[in-house]
Chains A and B, each alone.
Chain A
């Protein structure tokens, strides 16, 4: 099916894009990778009357480390993240996720910032951003603000990006040497939405206890959610099977999925716990922790 008619405005600068958004208000949408927006328009789930294409803006597809963070520009595509050696080496959680988003062709177009803005309940990047404690840089006519991911993801397909604003960049804190993470996802087939997903990131102190913990789950409610109670259990604890199980149980506890052809509610809630557990185990293995007891 064809999308409803719209006006196409290619932007060649961020200012040009913002001017177009300001002029057209809620009728306008940003077109980045288009891998969620275009299918949504084809199914008439979205009917923007103006598309502001940010692909022509030069220099928006950057991936770079600066001031202790990995900066991903609004034009940065999943594929670029997947193949960047420094991401594979240091950003384990992000690397894991980049390899399982949609399918390899879609990843050559889809963008990370676009996915965060789309905020699909089963999207991957919201989960990763929560576990990694990312921030999103949002610019509008009134200026630029940096929004913590917890405040950015508001509800299904709803974010903190207001009318006339656009998300310019996602910022992921650079993990230190004692930090690792893991992304776990169950999908029926490549390219399907997640049946269940979990993102985990841990930092160990010199004495082996957990100094920082990020735990989030996806396809478990209206938007990706942080498992606050799991983080509390992990923080300060010495990793053990019992601690991991207790943290995983909290994920199951707050998982609030919908029943669909991918599974019933009980199964998906169970999987939220299982995936958090697997993610924690994989993270500790990467941190070269010995056998857990």
Chain B
């Protein structure tokens, strides 16, 4: 089946089997290997991408054909040229990653979280990332990173 999927602003027209999962479409058909595959069964969250900007999905649990006509944002779509996205910069600054395997999923889940909640509380961040596993157990710094990015992206108004 021929599908047209816009990934990070670029349209990919590809012929895929209906059973092709979105994660494998991104990695093998689009060459975007930033989206990782971990548990491959919807448990670990390393494969999270954003669909149409405001919904996070585990791309191992969605068929590529379902993305036909939709826009997907992957971790490769966060940076603007050489300028890291505030979330990426915050993960760098706050040591929000150790081995890095879970990082794309953490970033994309956080990216969608901040779309819905520009200023999430710490419990809200913890809750939003509850479907993303970090086997280095670096959760504390991941939370701190998201807090920094949120502050960076929507600065509080300065009192006059």
Contact = CB atoms under 8 A, between A and B. Distances in A.
Q: Does B associate with A?
A: yes
Interface in A190-216: 190-191
Interface stretch (A2-10, A123-131, A170-178, A258-266): A2-10
A78 to B, nearest CB: 12
Interface residues of A, number: 31
A27 interface: no
Contacts of A55: 66
Q: Is the interface of A mostly helix, strand, loop or mixed?
A: loop
Given A2-B21, A103-B131, A190-B131, A8 B63 contact: yes
A2 to B, nearest CB: 6
B122 interface: no
B109 A105 contact: yes
Nearest to A83: B116
Interface string A91-109: 0000000000011111011
B62 A102 contact: no
Contact of B63 (A38, A102, A106, A108): A38
A158 B63 CA distance: 24
Contacts of A8: 1, 18, 63, 65
Contact of B45 (A1, A41, A43, A105): A105
Between A10, A41, A108, A190, the greatest number of chain B beta carbons within 10 A of the residue's beta carbon is seen for A108
12 contacts: A3-B19, A8-B65, A31-B66, A34-B61, A38-B21, A53-B65, A103-B130, A104-B131, A105-B45, A106-B61, A108-B55, A191-B131
